[in-house]
């Protein structure tokens, strides 16, 4: 059985204060147009206002290739052994892709826990409480807090800088691909599990000051001076910066309840002075 684990590139927190010019996001930033705005494998969904401001939430693009059947990614031997039809395999694949594309990469808890402290994020806990129906009652979670799941073990949460709030999207590009779909036994009861492994890349928007603070937070060997020498563009107080995510996300579903019964994530988030994924 897959065991839920903390994901991301957690590291020591650097508390150095960074002096930055006052800066706002580009005035030309797109707003939220669900009927027309697409960002690779993500599309605009709805406008959300939280404690940090207003942004456009994104969800999985219904035309994403990862939604479509590709039997070359199916482990035929294990699926046959556990009596999983191609139709069922595709249904579990779509559930995993939709979860990653609509919650995993751009949930309400995405950038609300930017001090990196596990289990100390009210928005993250609120996300968990609002989404308990997604999880099998037998979910195996060693990181419980007062009986609840930690949000940053399930969705990307607490590993990005504070992202731009200007009514436009925080996530501006995504790519999701299916790596494998296979089946196996669960360690309890009579149910089995179908396990879907995905690769995801995403790009998020952040201003200079928050990008510099992010660099210092997760790279304790860096100083403000060394960051400025490496990335002088982060100190001009203009434009936006791309924060890139690249990783592997694995989701397990119970064949009995068809709900999430475990996951494993391994991803990196970093700033790079480039465009595109």
The reply to whether 238 falls in a domain is yes
The reply to whether 9 falls in a domain is no
The reply to whether 121 falls in a domain is yes
Note down the domain range covering 194: 38-271
Q: Exposed/middle/buried for 151, CB within 10 Å: 0-12, 13-18, 19+? A: buried
**Domain total for the chain?**
1
The reply to whether 80 falls in a domain is yes
The reply to whether 19 falls in a domain is no
Q: How do residues 204-236 score in pLDDT, each as one tens digit?
A: 999 999 999 988 988 889 999 999 999 999 999
The reply to whether 65 falls in a domain is yes
Top pLDDT among 270 and 94 is at 94
The reply to whether 6 falls in a domain is no
* Mean pLDDT score across all residues of the chain: 82
At 119, is the pLDDT very low, low, confident or very high (cuts 50, 70, 90)?
very low
The reply to whether 24 falls in a domain is no
In order, the DSSP letters of 125-186 are HHHHHHTGGGB-TT---TT-BTTB--GGGTS--SSSPPPP-SSSBSEEEEEEEEEEEEEEE-
Q: How do residues 131-178 score in pLDDT, each as one tens digit?
A: 888 988 877 553 444 444 556 668 888 788 999 999 999 999 999 999
């Amino acid at each position: 059985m897959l065991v839920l684990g903390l994901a991301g590139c957690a590291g020591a927190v650097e508390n150095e204060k960074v002096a930055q010019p006052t800066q706002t996001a580009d005035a030309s930033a797109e707003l939220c147009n669900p009927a027309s705005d697409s960002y690779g494998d993500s599309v605009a969904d709805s406008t959300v206002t939280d404690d940090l401001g207003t942004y456009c939430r994104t969800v999985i693009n219904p035309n994403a290739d990862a939604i479509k059947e590709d039997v070359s990614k199916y482990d035929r031997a294990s699926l046959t052994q556990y009596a999983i039809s191609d139709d069922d395999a595709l249904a579990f694949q779509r559930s995993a892709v939709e979860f990653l594309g609509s919650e995993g990469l751009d949930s309400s808890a995405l950038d609300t826990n930017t001090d990196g402290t596990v289990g100390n994020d009210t928005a993250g806990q609120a996300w968990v409480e609002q989404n308990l129906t997604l999880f099998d009652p037998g979910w195996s979670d060693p990181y419980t807090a007062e009986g609840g799941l930690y949000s940053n073990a399930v969705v990307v949460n607490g590993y990005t800088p504070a992202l731009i709030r200007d009514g436009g999207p925080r996530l501006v590009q995504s790519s999701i691909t299916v790596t494998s779909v296979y089946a196996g036994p669960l360690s309890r009861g009579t149910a089995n599990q179908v396990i879907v492994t995905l690769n995801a890349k995403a790009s998020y928007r952040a201003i200079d000051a928050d990008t510099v603070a992010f660099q210092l937070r997760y790279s304790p060997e860096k100083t403000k001076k060394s960051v400025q020498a490496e990335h002088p563009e982060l100190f001009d107080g203009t434009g936006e910066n791309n924060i890139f995510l690249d990783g592997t996300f694995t989701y397990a579903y119970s064949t009995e309840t068809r709900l999430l019964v475990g996951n494993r994530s391994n991803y990196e988030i970093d700033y790079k002075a480039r465009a595109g994924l």
